[in-house]
Structure 1
């Protein structure tokens, strides 16, 4: 636990906030939330809970390393399940002992929601806020209504989520903005020419940006078919340059898998966001794995083709999807700007045929550019930043909660 205060010496009783982040993206959100809370709340704040390095840079001390629970997907969770279960109960016990004014669970529903349910059952008076809505609008919509007994308010990153929760009977939900909107200037002003110069790319050579994902499973499923698609495009369109931003823990694997590519790609550090955004601005088009990166590409105004493959278990659950697209950029813009190729449709031929028109001044390219121009305004907030908006909602939820109010725990 630590106490953040702008007032030295003794003073008011601190506001107590228990934060729970289950992976590194949640850690980044938590860090910005801590900073915004300290700016907006004039009195001391005592923080406790689970977080990572970025939250620790704000003075936060985690109950245990976030790496203990930072896993994705059922197949990744199973081997670590006993340890994760222990951490769940440890976190619940710590939250109850801390007796916070509010608990903020941040994303990672496989980890954070079991904790929230148990906190609500043991201490119904503790307010619980969920920062990042589960994708109830995409699949398993019944989850929205099931959240009401243990979540008091949701902070949404996507502008269509409050309406979705209202329609599905979920908890009260406020759009606080996607963190990428805070990076809009960095994305749109990235130094594309500087990157081209450092990589030795001639101004007249079209650049194809390839983004095979940031997880090992994504890269393994997509890298070969992406390579075949790149070869087809190079064969049909003439000389092109290829850039791949690779996360550090996968850089060696990406380099090995692309060693025989034609043309051989320039591999840059994906964690160097200035270079990644410069590559998006430099690229004539991109081939990307579905994910948050499609929002980055949309904000950069980069025409793209999106693809994805999942394991057989998840593929068999596709009938549960309730959205017209799995591409976040398309959902935010409100129409299917980026073509998507999933599972058996994710072939080298399909990808190459979709990419090729984007490298020239075609109707397909113009249509994408027109659609992408809508993305910044769709994500923009009327005022403040996402972290400031999130902090304001957290503080207002606490202020609106009557002292000593007890809630009846719903079904677990």
Structure 2
């Protein structure tokens, strides 16, 4: 019987936890696994015993990072030390870009031959393209969830990059029909910092649209860890809002007329489900300064990035204190042709995600991790 694959796998946020769990399931159909790492409910459900709570790493923006800097630095040292003790056949770091890079650099100095994979490409096409080349000596391979990212990485001199799709493709099926009326989903994010910056905007939307003929009510689908916080925060709203998690989250996606969502993985999940939406992003002060220096506006929502066109209206508030208008959301609710155009674009996006680009067709992430691990085993390291 072959030896088990000794895998160290880490994720620092909810979307990465889903990706990591999917990878573990795929690998387990091919080989026995010995797991060590950091993950949340999804990865722990696949047999991972997390070294520490994944939520320690769930930060968004420099203001969140600075507040937790001592803890994060400690976790970098702790994580690198655990990897070096284990000397696994492969290390997979899922998203959590700044943290993952810090851990990988620390490990590389001691174990230059250890196979390391970064799962989810950093947004080098939006922020600091020079980061691509900086990753080449650190990671053996990058697994990208967007079909255009392998080409971008190659053009910028980054590590070898493969397009592996996204687990959401299998988790979300497109609704058969668009309802004539239904709840408006409010999705302020999965990190505490995101929720803090975006919940006021969601409240503004709910209170402004309470009488809209297309909207039957307001629902916030969220993680179990955020349920109590969101119930407390929304208790003072002048309009009732339902907070749901678990199976009720899927029901909310099936019955919603539209959604108002923070830019991120949730926009991909909504698009794959066939839920029309407007995406929003409120920057923290550090991000706002960086955004002002860029020569072009940033495309934030994943459907727009994949399609290469503005299918989803985006509300970007580079200044967190600026007045915030929800007019694009009102326009979407008032225009059935705009809803139909979005749904057509989402069908096109699903096809692209299922096939990949001509230069980077869809490959299985488990096969790529095994290939990287086999390179090391083949030379007897």
TM bucket, shorter chain: 0.7 to 0.9
Whether the 8 Å contact between 1:228 and 1:348 is mirrored in structure 2 is no
Secondary structure of 1:40's match? Answer: coil
Matching residue within 17, 25, 33 for 1:35? 25
Distance in 1 (alpha carbons) for counterparts of 2:56 and 2:333: 44
Match of 1:333 in 2: 307
Matching residue within 263, 272, 275 for 1:299? 272
Match of 1:354 in 2: 328
Structure 1 residue 299: Cα displacement: 1.4
Structure 1 residue 336: Cα displacement: 0.5
Distance in 1 (alpha carbons) for counterparts of 2:242 and 2:275: 19
Moved more, 52-61 or 250-259: 250-259
Whether the 8 Å contact between 2:18 and 2:167 is mirrored in structure 1 is no
Moved more, 165-174 or 332-341: 332-341
Match of 2:99 in 1: 111
* CA distance 1:31–1:288, shift in 2 (3 Å): closer
Match of 1:311 in 2: 284
Secondary structure of 1:61's match? Answer: coil
Match of 1:18 in 2: 8
Match of 1:285 in 2: 258
Matching residue within 394, 397, 407 for 2:369? 394
Matching residue within 362, 368, 373 for 2:347? 373
Structure 1 residue 403: Cα displacement: 4.1
State whether structure 2 residue 42 is matched by structure 1 residue 54: yes
* CA distance 1:58–1:298, shift in 2 (3 Å): closer
Match of 1:3 in 2: none
Distance in 2 (alpha carbons) for counterparts of 1:204 and 1:333: 26
Distance in 1 (alpha carbons) for counterparts of 2:319 and 2:49: 46
The CA RMSD measured in Å over matched residues stands at 3.2
Distance in 1 (alpha carbons) for counterparts of 2:324 and 2:42: 42
* CA distance 1:156–1:204, shift in 2 (3 Å): closer
Runs of 5+ consecutive residues of structure 1 not aligned to the other structure: 1-10, 193-202, 407-412
Moved more, 369-378 or 359-368: 359-368
Whether the 8 Å contact between 2:129 and 2:156 is mirrored in structure 1 is yes
* CA distance 1:276–1:130, shift in 2 (3 Å): same
Secondary structure of 2:315's match? Answer: strand
Match of 2:62 in 1: 74
Moved more, 143-152 or 324-333: 324-333
* CA distance 1:215–1:365, shift in 2 (3 Å): same
* CA distance 1:37–1:156, shift in 2 (3 Å): same
Match of 2:192 in 1: 216
Query: What is the count of residue pairs matched by the alignment?
Result: 374
TM-score normalised to the size of structure 1? 0.79
Q: Which has the larger radius of gyration?
A: 1
Matching residue within 201, 206, 220 for 1:245? 220
Distance in 1 (alpha carbons) for counterparts of 2:12 and 2:201: 32
Structure 1 residue 252: Cα displacement: 4.6
Runs of 5+ consecutive residues of structure 2 not aligned to the other structure: 357-361
Distance in 2 (alpha carbons) for counterparts of 1:327 and 1:365: 17
Whether the 8 Å contact between 1:244 and 1:265 is mirrored in structure 2 is no
